[in-house]
């Protein structure tokens, strides 16, 4: 039996970011609802036809340039190749290139169209170059503390509503927020401060097996751009 010709080793650029965004993995799943009716004895009597098709997608990218990553990222809640972006996260690790993960979805009935968006913080755009290494969003590293990993994320609370037979009717995104977390080897000597960001957590790990470590987290509200 000959090998199939339609099974590929290639990740799809589902969001069609193109340019320097190189997809590493892509997943797509389709959710379908159906109504269930019970008998008087509690068993199921019948199922309805399926409705309310929702296609969920997740794509992991690398960026093949050492500059410009932050400015090249799409806005949250923007439409890219027909899919609504609801979450963007960037993970940076010492000795590795940044990993960019986008999540989003679309509906079979009344698909989303471009509406208000949430732009990535300008300061974060500057820090996210695309070069190899862990990014110190707080600039808190010094001779006694070095950043080992960090995460930036921006997300929205997306609310969809159904009507009629149960198909998607309308949806909107609210509560835009950005979060950052930085992990350090060693203890930070100066408490971090970042304009317009609210510190939400800081901690230290002082053990006799690993090296001293510390971490800091913060979040920021994002204003709609449209």
Q: What is the pLDDT of residue 193?
A: 83
- In the structure encoding, which two tokens stand for residue 36, read together? 């269930």
Distances (CA, A) of 148 to 18, 48, 114, 134, 153: 29, 52, 38, 6, 17
**pLDDT tens for residues 72-86?**
999 999 999 999 999
Handedness of CA 171, 175, 180, 181 (dihedral sign): negative
Q: Which of 64, 163, 154, 182 is nearest to 107 (CA)?
A: 163
Span 123-137, pLDDT tens digits:
999 999 999 999 999
* Predicted local distance difference test score (pLDDT) of residue 135: 97
pTM of the model: 0.92
Those residues of the chain that have pLDDT short of 50 are: none
Report the pLDDT value the prediction gives residue 190, as an integer from 0 to 100: 82
CA distance 135 to 8: 34
The residue behind tokens 């707080």 is 138
The pLDDT of residue 208: 86
How high is the pLDDT of residue 114?
A: 81
Dmax (CA) for the chain in angstroms is 73
Q: How many helices (H) and strands (E) does the chain have?
A: 2, 11
């Amino acid at each position: 039996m000959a090998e199939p010709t339609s099974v590929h080793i290639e990740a799809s650029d589902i969001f069609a970011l193109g340019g320097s965004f190189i997809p590493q993995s892509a997943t797509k799943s389709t959710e379908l609802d159906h109504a269930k009716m019970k008998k008087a004895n509690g068993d199921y009597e019948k199922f309805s036809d399926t409705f309310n098709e929702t296609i969920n997608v997740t794509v992991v990218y690398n960026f093949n340039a050492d500059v410009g990553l932050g400015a090249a990222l799409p806005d949250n809640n923007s439409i890219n190749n027909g899919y609504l972006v609801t979450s963007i996260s960037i993970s940076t690790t010492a000795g590795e290139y940044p990993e960019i993960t986008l999540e989003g979805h679309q509906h079979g009935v009344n698909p989303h169209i471009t509406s208000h968006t949430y732009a990535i913080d300008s300061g974060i755009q500057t820090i996210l170059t695309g070069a190899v290494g862990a990014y110190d969003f707080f600039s808190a590293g010094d001779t006694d503390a070095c950043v080992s990993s960090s995460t930036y994320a921006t997300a929205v609370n997306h609310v969809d509503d159904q009507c009629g037979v149960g198909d998607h009717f309308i949806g909107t995104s609210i509560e835009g927020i950005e979060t950052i977390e930085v992990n350090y080897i060693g203890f930070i000597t100066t408490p971090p401060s970042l304009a317009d960001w609210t510190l939400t957590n800081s901690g230290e790990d002082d053990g006799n097996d690993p090296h001293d470590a510390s971490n800091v987290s913060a979040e920021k509200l994002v204003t709609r751009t449209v």
